[in-house]
Amino acid sequence: MQDFNMQDFKEAFLEFAIRQQVLLFGEFKTKAGRLSPYFFNAGLFNDGASLKQLGEFYAKAINGSGIAFDGLFGPAYKGIPLAASVAIAFAADGRNLPYSYNRKEAKDHGERGHIVGAGLSGRILIVDDVISAGTSVRESVELIRAAGATPCGVAIALDRMERGQGSLSAVQEVSRDYGLPVVSIVNLNGLADYLAGKPEWSDTLSAIERYRGQYGVGG
């Protein structure tokens, strides 16, 4: 894995996401009906080279978090290639980890059941793109516990740091409800800091600051 200090690491990730058009600026309606000045779609990390690099960014953030874990779990569907890319990144760095994912509907033939890949055991780290309503995390926690393993944290690409239904963000709600640490490659503060250093993005930064003033939470 490339060696960055944390500030350079976050900037490198944002430049990567912008270059891949995964992170877009403009006006986008969120699931909550809010008009957001930015949009992040991890599904557009859609080729081998970008997935390889993305897995390395996740692995760097996970290593920096200090979370102890034995295996990786990717919630269907977006979490599946993400967990695989993280497993590959760790393997390239000398740590061979099992990974698993779920299917939406159980099969009654072949490998059967909801879980595909390695058996779930020990401390399991959930890998996803973002946390919006926390639904996929809740389902993942239930599946991991039902298998007799222990969910130990969640790794995401971007923490939007905005309120859910109450005063907390979706990430803060997950931490509160499940006692799980959540590590992100970058959060909204990091994005704002990145844009602040680039005069050509001043209008975008102003729009993000207005949005954060309306919907943001501390982090």
Q: What is the 3-state secondary structure (H, E, C) of 99-114?
A: EEEEEEEEECCCCCEE
Is pLDDT larger for residue 150 or for residue 111? 150
Q: Taking residues 10-19, what's their average pLDDT?
A: 96
- What confidence tens digit (pLDDT) does each residue in 139-188 have? 999 999 999 999 999 999 999 999 877 889 989 998 999 999 999 999 99
pLDDT of 1 over the 70 cut: no
Least confident of 101-105, 115-119, 142-146: 101-105
- The H or E element that residue 28 is part of is strand 23-29
pLDDT of 4 over the 80 cut: no
State which fold the 6-215 domain adopts.
Rossmann fold (3.40.50)
pTM for this entry? 0.90
Dihedral angle, C-alpha 3, 84, 182, 105, nearest 10 °: 170
CB-CB neighbours of 79 under 10 Å: 25
Q: Taking residues 112-135, what's their average pLDDT?
A: 85
pLDDT of 112 over the 70 cut: no
Q: Taking residues 102-125, what's their average pLDDT?
A: 74
CB-CB neighbours of 107 under 10 Å: 11
Is pLDDT larger for residue 32 or for residue 73? 73
- What confidence tens digit (pLDDT) does each residue in 44-73 have? 999 999 999 999 999 999 999 999 999 999
C-alpha closest to that of 208 among 15, 6, 23: 23
Q: Known catalytic residues?
A: 107, 109
